[in-house]
Chains A and B, each alone.
Chain A
Amino acid sequence: MTDPLSTAQLYLDGITVSFDGFKALNALSLVIEPGELRTIIGPNGAGKTTMMDVITGKTRPDSGTAMFEGRHDLTRLDEPTIANLGIGRKFQKPTVFENLTVEENLELALKDDRRIRHTLFRRLDEEQEAKLERVLAQVGLMRRRTELAGLLSHGQKQWLEIGMLLVHDPRLILLDEPVAGMTDAETAATADLITRLARDRTIVVVEHDMVFVRSLGAKVTVLHEGSVLAEGSIDAVQNHPRVIEVYLGR
């Protein structure tokens, strides 16, 4: 076996985070391989969001290692730096910029020089325009590009957010409950979108909706009380006795 530190896309080892004595993450270890699509499930308070916070630099762990591509120590970097490394995160609550148009949202998210001088004096070049168009088509928002993002439906906002990740060319995408609040049709379209995107990217999806998790057909990790309870295919974990116990209670 090769050293996970050097080959894994994301390597978490022994991550512990406590808030006022409550351990949100308890020695959590997780390895995501390049190109993998992984779903993470777990009851409320299992530490799913805290885990995302650690990976994106929002929360500093009390102890443990978090490495991106074996080179970048995520516990020492701040949020913009981590985002620019190529880790994109979609939040649970869709937060698009409601007073900007769909295309302006994507423009801000484009991978580009983030310095003030650049944002003041440069316009998008042809290549960037082309990428913007490609992503608009990918997430199905081409016809609404000049509308204010605040006017989109809930599902469309979620797709716009995914689009905002895509224009940034992330190598690792974290999706926090991407189908929460979506209609069945929107959920199916989102599953389709994610499977297509997973062909050339590493994606981690946190989700409650078991139908959706099943439709992704990916390896599943179950979190419980801040650490990994089980890992494997959806069928394997659903039949895992500890998982049943945690989810159904005694």
Chain B
Amino acid sequence: MMRRTPLLTGSGWLVFLAAMLVAAVLIPVLATLPPPDSMFRLPAYLVPLFGKYLCYAILALALDLIWGYAGILSLGHGAFFALGGYAMGMYLMRQIGTRGVYGDPILPDFMVFLNWRELPFAWWGFHNFAYAAFMALAVPGALAALFGWFAFRSRVTGVYLSIITQAMTYALLLAFFRNDMGFGGNNGLTDFKEILGYEVQAPSTRLGLYVITAVALGLSFLVCRFVVTTRFGRLLLALRDAESRVRFIGYSTTGAKLFVFVLSALLCGLAGALYVPQVGIINPSEFQPGNSIEVAIWVAVGGRGTLVGAILGALVVNFVKTWLTGAAPELWLFALGALFIVVTLAMPNGILGLVAQAKQWRRTPTAPVAETVHD
């Protein structure tokens, strides 16, 4: 009988449940139950910050799925994240209603300011949460499908693909900067009041959003894990290492890559939609090419081709970023660059790679980066 890779091993499930308990139960409890002056009390400002990190972790997971397993290095994943964020931001803008500075019941403030008379077509329906949530996934998914279809069909791979994904996010950056695009120009969307009737700024709402994000991360992990443990996951590894060989045994690599690329973009949209209500703003800077490159660094630091590594990398790098940009802001970019160099040269399999080396190489159901290079 063929040896099967389980979704998670027994100890894998234990670690997963323990991590979920800490993230989705322990942290909310510490943020609410201990008296405010207790040393165990988690300060309220940390909750949305942690929520932000978990959104980044979903983003890293999405990139690892295509980079680590299928060998597609997208440096434009920030764009899918930002599009998901904009969809949620548009819902939040419509919820402001008459509480805006200009008090227009339909038009967001920036449209009144620009002397617009009616709501542009793209904004229709965004007062409805379900529609906005759908669009937060559908828009990134559709863009990924279109972009991926052209790119993979023309067999654009490797560094060329990375470059055009950078161009894609840069093009969107420029487009969203324009006021007449109708998405708030360089100020973006902000000053949110309510989400589903709950006050966005309220600690309880933030805690709720945080818990939802933690659960979303857990589910995203399981979805990715499911994908990589099936025959389809092995197909991705195969095409990462020898794509033309996969075509010769009869698989459409275009279809496989497109599927995983769109799935990855959907996860980015989800992350972006959860991110915006927690940070309270979305603007074109989220499309900056540098943001997308940073995601690749998180994945590389944690361990490419290991889903857990992507999550770990996103959390570790962002904790360090928060600390360092507070302590010595001018050093952050140097630290990031140094981190990338160290990881590339000294630990090609990231933090998890070091753990694996320490454990004397035994085969885990992860996908260590190939040491041999096929062309």
Contacts and interface: CB of A to CB of B under 8 A. Distances in A.
B359 interface: no
Given A80-B252, A99-B237, A148-B363, A119 B2 contact: no
B3 A120 contact: no
A168 B372 CA distance: 26
A97 B238 contact: yes
A101 interface: yes
Contact of A114 (B4, B237, B250): B250
B232 A120 contact: yes
- Size category of the A interface is 20 to 34
B2 to A, nearest CB: 5
Contact of A100 (B230, B232, B234, B255): B234
A158 to B, nearest CB: 14
B250 A116 contact: no
A118 to B, nearest CB: 8
A107 B241 contact: no
A51 interface: no
B230 A168 contact: no
Interface in B240-280: 241-242, 245-252, 255-256, 259
A109 B249 contact: yes
B228 to A, nearest CB: 11
A129 B1 contact: yes
9 contacts: A80-B248, A80-B250, A91-B248, A108-B251, A114-B250, A114-B251, A114-B252, A119-B256, A148-B363
B178 interface: no
Interface in A69-127: 79-80, 83-84, 89, 91, 95, 97-101, 103-104, 107-109, 114-116, 119-124
Interface string B4-48: 100000000000000000000000000000000000000000000
A104 B233 CA distance: 11
B256 A116 contact: yes
Contact of A95 (B4, B245, B252): B245
A49 B248 CA distance: 15
B362 to A, nearest CB: 12
Most B CB contacts (10 A, CB to CB) among A84, A91, A119 go to A119
A116 B368 contact: no
Given A107-B231, A119-B235, A99 B250 contact: no
A103 B3 contact: yes
Given A98-B372, A103-B3, A129-B1, A116 B255 contact: yes
A243 B227 CA distance: 55
B248 A79 contact: yes
Contacts of B119: none
A83 B234 CA distance: 19
Nearest to A106: B2
A79 B237 contact: no
B244 to A, nearest CB: 8
A102 to B, nearest CB: 10
Contacts of A132: 2
Contact of A83 (B237, B248, B255, B363): B248
A56 interface: yes
Contact of B2 (A97, A98, A129): A129
Nearest to A79: B247
A100 B248 contact: no
B372 to A, nearest CB: 6
A104 B237 CA distance: 11
A150 B371 CA distance: 10
Nearest to B252: A80
A164 B242 CA distance: 14
A146 interface: yes
A78 to B, nearest CB: 8
Given A80-B251, A129-B1, A99 B230 contact: no
